[in-house]
């Protein structure tokens, strides 16, 4: 965190990265960005050492800690040798500030270049969605290596003079309840997976004093309606869901004072001009699914994909930035998520949203998580397949699978029910908590010996 802020002040361009990255993932980002230095700890330095000779621009590996080896540099020693007085490099709003790499769910990760105007450009996110107020204490349960926790868990609250709680350990719902109680957290930011894990803690609303907590937000993946309702029932608080992306952060959300429609990601935040458009950037009428887009002059929007001019050009059409997320707007102006364009399931002539299937399946009391994907079928061409994580894995059975199928038919249109269910211990996810449906689709093709499936 200190290195990020220090880098920005001296005119460098920091690139937050996950400690979970393996050598090849680090190598890709260093070579794509042309990075000159890596700052890490002894625990993760091995991955960098493994690929340093294949990264021609990499000059320095700086270690935070005592275990320094070879030509590595000591962060502490460099700090001792440096002047206590810093003259920040003058920057303008259009100057490059930092990169954040996309999750790479549809190909190689892309370096989204953000400018210095990004933080003030997302003031609506802080004031309306996060509802930050004087004397608040904000906490985000995620690591500060992707856009949501970096913004709403760190930089945005600081801009408004509000304190943040930063915890570097692994996520554990019970420990996080303890942190909220101990430090009297007022604003909680998290992802749907974490909220589902919070709800697995029995009697948490009685066991912990959470009276300081007054506002909760969620992003990273759409939040299933059942989670919203259960959180409200147990903790007396709404979860204000929103949708965003690496390129702009959250710009459509539910906000305090607005009626929440569980399952909807809300409306465009004040100051952001958004629309549902076709692939050419032409606005579509209410009720018609299309691509969520934001005006290309939005101050919170990224500038470009680093070293990928073709990808940048493809994303900007007719004065809009096209997110790639498929949504529709209802007559009240609320936006509803359907999925990424490549996530939609084409089965029996229907366009089926995986999110709608997952929300229906998750409303079954035995289901913790679900991922719905297209699966090849010799008769139907494509069917809906659900990968299901149970609260109690020992309950997995053919009978329970049939019960979940019947339950889904009752709470959603029957054509959306998963004709196949596979019980798994966990779902593959990106570092930001998004389900890797592409990985599951590829697994289905491999299982059934199909080289291509039209979805």
Could you give the CA distance from residue 361 to residue 390 in angstroms, rounded to a whole number?
11
**Per-residue pLDDT tens over the stretch 341-372:** 777 787 766 778 788 899 899 999 999 999 99
- Of residues 379, 378, 387, the one with CA closest to residue 357: 387
**Per-residue pLDDT tens over the stretch 374-415:** 998 877 778 999 999 999 999 999 999 999 999 999 988 788
Kindly tell me the sign of the dihedral angle through the C-alpha atoms of 345, 346, 348, 351.
Answer: positive
pTM above 0.85, yes or no: no
Sheet of 367-377, strand order? 367-377, 381-390, 420-423
Structure tokens that stand for 334 in this block:
């609320």
Query: Residue 287 region, left (φ>0) first, then alpha (ψ -120 to 50), else beta?
Result: left
Domains of the chain, earliest start first: 2-86 (3.40.50.980), 97-339 (3.40.50.12780), 346-447 (3.30.300.30)
Q: What is the mean pLDDT of the segment spanning 440-452?
A: 81
Q: How confident is the model at residue 107 (pLDDT cuts 50, 70, 90)?
A: low
Q: How confident is the model at residue 176 (pLDDT cuts 50, 70, 90)?
A: very high
**Per-residue pLDDT tens over the stretch 225-269:** 999 999 999 999 999 999 988 999 999 999 999 999 998 999 999
Structure tokens that stand for 391 in this block:
């609260």
- Of residues 268, 235, 236, the one with CA closest to residue 129: 268
Contact between 151 and 249 (Cβ < 8 Å): yes
Q: How confident is the model at residue 105 (pLDDT cuts 50, 70, 90)?
A: low
46 burial (CB, 10 Å; 0-12 / 13-18 / 19+) is exposed
Q: What is the mean pLDDT of the segment spanning 28-34?
A: 96
Sheet of 60-63, strand order? 37-40, 60-63, 73-74
Could you give the CA distance from residue 100 to residue 119 in angstroms, rounded to a whole number?
14
Q: How high is the pLDDT of residue 104? A: 60
Q: How confident is the model at residue 455 (pLDDT cuts 50, 70, 90)?
A: very low
Instruction: Give 382's contacts (C-beta < 8 A, 6+ positions apart).
Output: 345, 346, 347, 374, 375, 376, 453, 454, 455
């Amino acid at each position: 965190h200190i290195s990020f802020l220090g880098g920005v002040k001296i005119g460098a361009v920091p690139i937050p990265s996950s400690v979970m990255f393996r050598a090849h993932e680090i190598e890709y980002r260093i070579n794509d960005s042309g990075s000159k230095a890596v700052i890490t700890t002894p625990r993760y330095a091995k991955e960098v050492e493994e690929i340093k000779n294949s990264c021609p621009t990499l000059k320095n590996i700086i270690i935070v800690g005592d275990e320094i080896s070879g030509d590595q540099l000591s962060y502490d020693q460099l700090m001792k040798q440096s002047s206590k007085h810093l003259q920040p490099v003058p920057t303008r709003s259009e100057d490059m500030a930092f990169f954040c790499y996309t999750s790479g769910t549809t190909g190689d990760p892309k370096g989204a270049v953000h400018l210095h105007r990004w933080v003030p450009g997302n003031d609506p996110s802080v004031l309306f969605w996060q509802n930050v107020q004087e004397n608040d204490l904000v906490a985000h349960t995620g690591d500060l290596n992707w856009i949501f926790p970096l913004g709403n868990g760190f930089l945005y609250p600081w801009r408004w003079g509000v304190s943040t709680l930063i915890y570097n350990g692994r996520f554990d719902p019970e420990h996080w309840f303890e942190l909220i109680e101990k430090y009297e957290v007022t604003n909680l930011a998290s992802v749907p997976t974490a909220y589902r894990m919070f709800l697995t803690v029995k009697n948490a609303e009685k066991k912990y004093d959470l009276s300081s907590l007054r506002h909760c937000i969620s992003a990273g993946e759409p939040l299933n309606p059942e989670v919203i309702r259960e959180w409200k029932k147990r903790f007396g608080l709404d979860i204000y869901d929103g949708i965003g992306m690496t390129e702009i952060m959250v710009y459509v959300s539910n906000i305090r004072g607005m009626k929440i429609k569980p399952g909807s990601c809300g409306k465009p935040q004040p100051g952001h001009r958004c629309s549902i458009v076709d692939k050419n950037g032409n606005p579509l009428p209410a009720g018609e699914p299309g691509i969520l887009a934001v005006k290309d002059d939005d101050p919170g929007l990224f500038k470009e994909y680093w070293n990928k001019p073709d990808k940048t050009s493809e994303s900007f059409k007719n004065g809009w930035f096209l997110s790639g997320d498929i949504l529709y707007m209802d007559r009240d102006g609320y936006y509803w998520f359907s999925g990424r364009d490549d996530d939609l399931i084409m089965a029996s002539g229907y366009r089926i949203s995986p999110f709608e299937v997952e929300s229906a399946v998750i409303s079954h009391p035995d289901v913790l998580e679900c991922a719905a994907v297209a699966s090849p079928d010799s008769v139907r061409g494509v069917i809906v397949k659900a990968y299901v994580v149970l609260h109690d894995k020992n309950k997995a059975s053919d009978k329970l699978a049939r019960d979940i199928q019947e339950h889904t038919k009752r709470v959603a249109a029957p054509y959306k029910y998963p004709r196949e269910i596979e019980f798994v211990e966990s779902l593959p996810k990106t570092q930001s908590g998004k389900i890797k449906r592409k990985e599951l689709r590829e697994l289905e093709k491999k299982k059934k010996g199909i080289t291509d499936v039209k979805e």
